[in-house]
């Protein structure tokens, strides 16, 4: 099995997208999975869903995905923009990520699950500042106030 076919299957990539190549970077402990689309692909406006021709392409983008084994994994693609007669020029939706996100949907799901499991989601940004055992808390968590004098 080719590495491109392996990643196509484990990522669930479907036409018109396909995995064009996979680059392993051992010094950086990462894998880059390059995605391209079939030229004959028919695109739709992400706003109204009507058929729309390709207008141009955004610069190459990269999305952080879940690790492949112990290697950081990134998806890389040049995403087309379409010109809708009603909504103008818009970037097409990609199946692996939300618009404008730098993470894949699966990576975001994993991050949310980790935050929930650790209770960090309740405290948002203050979770990273949780006091170490034995140290004195310097900031209240979740708006609670310490009664220590
Ligand atoms: Zn439209």
> Which pLDDT tens digit goes with each residue over 84-128?
999 999 999 999 999 989 999 999 999 999 999 998 756 555 544
- Per-residue model confidence (pLDDT) at position 123: 58
Contacting residues for 73 by C-beta, under 8 A, at least 6 apart: 30, 31, 32, 33, 64, 65, 66, 67
What is the whole-number distance in angstroms between the Cα of residue 87 and the centre of ligand 1?
4
What is the whole-number distance in angstroms between the Cα of residue 52 and the centre of ligand 1?
8
> Which pLDDT tens digit goes with each residue over 10-46?
999 999 999 999 999 999 999 999 999 998 778 999 9
Q: Specify the higher pLDDT residue, 34 or 147.
A: 34
Contacting residues for 44 by C-beta, under 8 A, at least 6 apart: 50, 51, 52, 82, 92
At 106 the three-state DSSP class reads helix
What is the whole-number distance in angstroms between the Cα of residue 89 and the centre of ligand 1?
9
What is the whole-number distance in angstroms between the Cα of residue 78 and the centre of ligand 1?
21
Is the entire prediction scored with pTM above 0.95?
A: no
Instruction: Write the DSSP symbol of residue 132.
Output: P
At 4 the three-state DSSP class reads helix
Q: In this model, does residue 132 exceed pLDDT 90? A: no
Phi, psi of 121 (to 5 degrees): -65, -25
- Per-residue model confidence (pLDDT) at position 124: 52
Closest alpha carbon to 35 in 7, 70, 72: 7
What is the whole-number distance in angstroms between the Cα of residue 69 and the centre of ligand 1?
40
What is the whole-number distance in angstroms between the Cα of residue 90 and the centre of ligand 1?
8
- Per-residue model confidence (pLDDT) at position 74: 97
What is the whole-number distance in angstroms between the Cα of residue 72 and the centre of ligand 1?
36
- Per-residue model confidence (pLDDT) at position 39: 84
């Amino acid at each position: 099995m080719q590495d491109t076919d392996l990643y196509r299957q484990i990522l669930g990539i479907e036409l018109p997208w396909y995995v064009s190549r996979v680059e392993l970077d051992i010094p950086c402990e990462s894998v880059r999975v390059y995605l391209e689309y079939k030229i004959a692909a028919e695109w739709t406006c992400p706003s109204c869903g009507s058929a729309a021709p390709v207008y141009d392409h955004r610069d190459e983008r990269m999305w952080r995905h879940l690790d492949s084994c112990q290697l950081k994994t990134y998806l890389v693609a040049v995403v087309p923009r379409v010109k809708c007669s009603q909504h103008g020029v818009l970037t097409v939706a990609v199946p692996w990520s939300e618009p404008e996100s730098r993470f894949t949907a699966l990576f975001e799901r994993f991050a949310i699950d980790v935050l929930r499991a650790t209770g960090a989601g309740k405290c948002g940004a203050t979770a990273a500042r949780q006091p170490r055992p034995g140290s004195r808390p310097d900031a209240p968590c979740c708006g609670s106030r310490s009664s220590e004098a």
